[in-house]
Amino acid sequence: MQLKAVGQGVQRVDIRQKVRGTRKYPQDFNMEGQLYAKVVWSAHPHAVVKRIDTSAAEAVPGVVRVITYRDVPVNEYGINVHDQPVLIAEGDKVRWVGDRIAIVVAETERIAAHARDLVQVEYELLPVVDDPRQAMKPGAPLVHEDRESNILKHIVIRRGDVEQAFAQADVIVEGYYTTHHVEHAYLQPDAALGFVDDEGRIAVISSCQWPADDLHQIAHMLDLPEDQLREIVPTVGGAFGGREDMYIQHLAALCAFVLRRPVKIVFDREEVTQRTGKRHPFYMRHRTGATRDGRIVAAQVELISDAGAYASTSIPVLGNAASFALGPYKIPHARVDAYTVYTNNAVTMAMRGFGATQPPFGYESQMDKLAEALGMDPVELRLQNLLDVGDIAVTGNVMTAETGAKETLRQAALAAGWREEDGHWIKPDLGTPSAPYKRRGIGVAIAYKNVGYSLGYDDKTTAKVELSLAESGEIARVLVKVAAVEVGQGVLTALAQIAADTLGVDVDKVRLALVDTTETPDAGSSSASRHVFISGNAVARAAAQAKEKWQAILRDETGEMHVEAEYTFHGRSVRPTTPFDPETGQCEPHISYSYAAQVALVEVDVETGQTEILKFWAAADAGKVINPIMYFGQQAGGVHMGVGYALTENYIQQEGRPRARRFSEYHIPTVMDMPHEFESIAVESAPDPNGPFGATGLGETPTLPTAPAITNAIHDATGVWIESLPANAERVWRALRAAHKL
C-alpha cells in the first residue's frame, strides 16, 4: 500500500474553523424557547440531607421548575458502577461537594442563578474522611454505609519469591512517594443543551468522551430504551479523561425529560474546578533490591489511591497502576499490593495516563536512588534492566513486538548529550549555572502505558465507510461514520489519513460525520490512547471492505454510485487480554503499549527552591507516526501537563472542601513556565504489527515520565530527593533545609 497521507503532516481537518472561531462548542448552541438551568450543589462533603425546601426558589418570577430527586425515574448513575445518586434525596447522604441537591430551571440564566441560592437545605453533618490511609482502617466512618469497609478494591501481584530475593540483593533502596489531586483544566467549561428532538427522543448536545456510554447511563436513569435517546457531540474543548464520566449531560437530559423543552446548562469555571472529578492521588511505598552489578532482583510496592466519594473508574485505574507499578523493567521477584479507597474528597477518575501516570514518580525515583547507591549512570542502569521483546513482565506476560523501551531511552539520552564509551554511559556536561545560588542538574525517566482497554475488557469500535462514486467510477467522496470524539487530540484527522491511504484517495476527499448516536456507531471512549489503534483498525478494515466492494462494482460494471461497508474491530481479535488472577495477579493485561523517555535539564535556585526547566527532550515510541505535526503537538502538550503535575498544579482540599477553586488558584503552566527549549523525538523502533500501519497510540505516554525526569534532575542538581508532588518551591526548599544544604 502506498502511503500518501499516513506519515505526513496533513493539515488538521477541523483547524480552519477553529482559527476562525466558527467551530461550535456546546455552549455556542441555542434553541428557540430554551430555558436555563443551574445546579444546587452540596454545601458539605459529608452530611445527611434532612430537608430540601424549594418553595422560595419556585416563587421567583421566571423560575419554571425546581427539579429534585422526586423527578428522577431511577435515581442512580455511574460509569462502571451505578453508585451515584443523580439528585440527593431527603434522608440520604451527600458524600462530597460535587453531589447535587436540585436543579433550578428558569427563563434566564440570571434568574436561575439567583433562585438557586434560595433553595434551603438542612444538613446534619457527618465526620469527614479525607485521607485514604485513615479511611481504610477498621472503624473509619463509612462513605458508603452499605459497605463493610471504605476499601473499594485490593489488587495483588505475586511473582517469584520476594523475601528470598531481597535477602540476596547487594543493595536495597526504599521510598515513600505521594502524589496529589490534579484538575484536568480543559479550557472549555462543561456545557449541555437538552431537548426533545423531532422524533420525540430526549436529546442532548454535549461535550463528552464516550456518547454511547452516556446514553447507556441516561437510559438507566430515565428508564427509557436507548432508541428513545440521542446525544450529539459537536466540538469538545479538551477532555483529558475529565469528560469520560457524566457531569452535565444527564442533567440536561433530565431537564428536557421533565419539562419537554430545550434546557441549557453551562458550568462556570468554579463549578468545573470544584464539582467535577480529578486525577487520583497515590501513596506509594517502594522497596527495590539489586545486585552489585546493577541487576534488579526484587521489588515490592504498596499503592493506595484516593477514590473519592464514588467509584467512577477507580477500579480500572487501579488495575493499570498495579500492572505498571514497577515500571518497564525485568523483575523476577515482585510483589504489588494496590488499594483504592473511598473518601469524602473529590471523585477521582480517568485522567491522561489512567493510573499509569502516578507510578513512574515512584519507580523512576527508585531507579535513580538505585543508580546512586550502585554508583552507576542512571541511563546505564535502566538500559540494563529494561524489558525487551521476549522478556516476561511482572504480570507474567511475554513482551511482544511493540516493546520499544530500550531504543526510546537510548535516543532520549543521546539527544540530551549522553555518550556511550566502552559499554558505559556518561552524562553530559551541564554548563554553568546562571547565578551563584543556582545549581544545574539533569534527570531522566522512562515510562510505558497500555493502548486500548485492558484486563479482559472487550474494547471495540464500529466504523462505517461510505463511498460516493463519480460518473467515471472513481471515488468522489468518502464519508466515515464513527463516534470517535474529537477532543483536540486530532482523531478526526488521523482517521481520515488512515481511510485515505487504505482507499488510495486524497485525504481531502474524506470527511468524518458529526458524532450523533443516531448516525455514528459506537467507537468507545476518547481515552486509553486507543482511537488510532482500535478505531483506526475499524476504519481501515471498513475502508478495505468498501474498497473491495467498489472494485467489484468497477469489475462488474454495475453502475452503482454508492458503496457502504461496516466493520466492528475488537481488540481481543489481535490480543485477548485477561483479568488479574485473584491470587497472583498473573494475566495478559494489555492489548498494546507505547513508551516515552524524557530528559530534563533544570536549574534549581537553592535559596528559594524554585526550579526552572532549561531544556527538555521527549522521546516516544508509539509505533508508526501517523502525523508528525500532530505527534509533536501530543508530545509538547503531554509534557505541559507533566510540568504542571511536577511543579505548579495542586488541587488542594481541606477536610473535603476545595481550596484551589478557580484558575487564579489552580495554576496550569503558562507559556513562560515551559522548558525554554524543547525537542520531540519520534522513535519508530517498535511498530505493532496489529496496529494500523504499525501505529499504537500516543495520547497519554508523553505525560508519564515528565514529573520524575524533573524531580530526578532536581536531585542531580541539589542532592535532595523529592518524594511528594508537586515539587514546588517551598517543597524543594524544605527538602534542602532538611538536608542542611542551604
Using CB under 8 A, which residues numbered 560 to 599 contact other proteins? Answer: none
Residue 664 interacting with other proteins (CB under 8 A): yes
Q: How far is the CB of 615 from other proteins (least distance, A)?
A: 13
Q: Which residues contact 670 (CB under 8 A, 6 or more apart)?
A: none
Helix (H) or strand (E) holding 619: strand 611-621
Q: How far apart are CA 10 and CA 495, in angstroms?
A: 11
Interaction pattern, residues 233-272, with other proteins; x per rule: CB under 8 A: --xxxxxx---------------------------xxx--
Interaction pattern, residues 126-165, with other proteins; x per rule: CB under 8 A: ----------------------------------------
Q: How far apart are CA 55 and CA 79, in angstroms?
A: 33
**Cell 495554576 found at:** 667
**692 phi and psi, to 5 degrees?**
-65, 120
Q: How far apart are CA 660 and CA 640, in angstroms?
A: 19
**From the list 305, 592, 635, 712, which residue makes contact with other proteins (rule: CB under 8 A)?**
635
Could you tell me how many residues of this chain bind other proteins (CB under 8 A)?
73
Cross-sheet strand order for the sheet of 592-605: 438-451, 592-605, 611-621, 677-682
* C-alpha to C-alpha distances, 387 to 296, 374, 392, 399, 549, nearest whole angstrom: 12, 20, 8, 7, 43
Residue 114 interacting with other proteins (CB under 8 A): no
Q: How far is the CB of 717 from other proteins (least distance, A)?
A: 17
Residue 12 interacting with other proteins (CB under 8 A): yes
**From the list 132, 490, 521, 692, which residue makes contact with other proteins (rule: CB under 8 A)?**
490
DSSP one-letter code for 223: T
- Give, as ranges, the residues between 265 and 324 that touch other proteins (CB under 8 A): 268-270
Extended strands (E) in 369-437: 419-421, 424-426
The answer to whether 713 and 442 are in contact (CB under 8 A) is: yes
Q: How far apart are CA 391 and CA 388, in angstroms?
A: 5
Q: How far is the CB of 118 from other proteins (least distance, A)?
A: 14
- Closer to other proteins by Cβ: residue 39 or 307: 39
- Closer to other proteins by Cβ: residue 305 or 634: 634
**From the list 178, 578, 586, 608, which residue makes contact with other proteins (rule: CB under 8 A)?**
608
Kindly report the three-state secondary structure assignment for every residue of 88-153: CCCCCEECCCCCEEEEEEECCHHHHHHHHCCCEEEEEECCCCCCHHHHCCCCCCCCCCCCCCCEEE
Residue 678 interacting with other proteins (CB under 8 A): yes
- Give, as ranges, the residues between 19 and 58 that touch other proteins (CB under 8 A): 19-25, 27-28
Residues present in the chain in total: 742
Interaction pattern, residues 456-485, with other proteins; x per rule: CB under 8 A: ------------------------------
Q: How far is the CB of 634 from other proteins (least distance, A)?
A: 9
Q: What is the largest CA-CA distance in the chain?
A: 85
- Give, as ranges, the residues between 177 and 196 that touch other proteins (CB under 8 A): 184-189
Candidates 216-224, 341-349, 596-604, 626-634 — which segment interacts with other proteins by CB under 8 A? Answer: 626-634
Q: How far is the CB of 36 from other proteins (least distance, A)?
A: 11
- Closer to other proteins by Cβ: residue 20 or 555: 20
**Cell 484527522 found at:** 493
Candidates 195-203, 250-258, 417-425, 726-734 — which segment interacts with other proteins by CB under 8 A? Answer: 726-734
**From the list 88, 412, 534, 668, which residue makes contact with other proteins (rule: CB under 8 A)?**
668
Residue 729 interacting with other proteins (CB under 8 A): yes
Q: How far apart are CA 708 and CA 216, in angstroms?
A: 39
**Cell 513508551 found at:** 595
Residue 706 interacting with other proteins (CB under 8 A): no
**From the list 654, 689, 739, 741, which residue makes contact with other proteins (rule: CB under 8 A)?**
654
**From the list 123, 457, 663, 721, which residue makes contact with other proteins (rule: CB under 8 A)?**
663
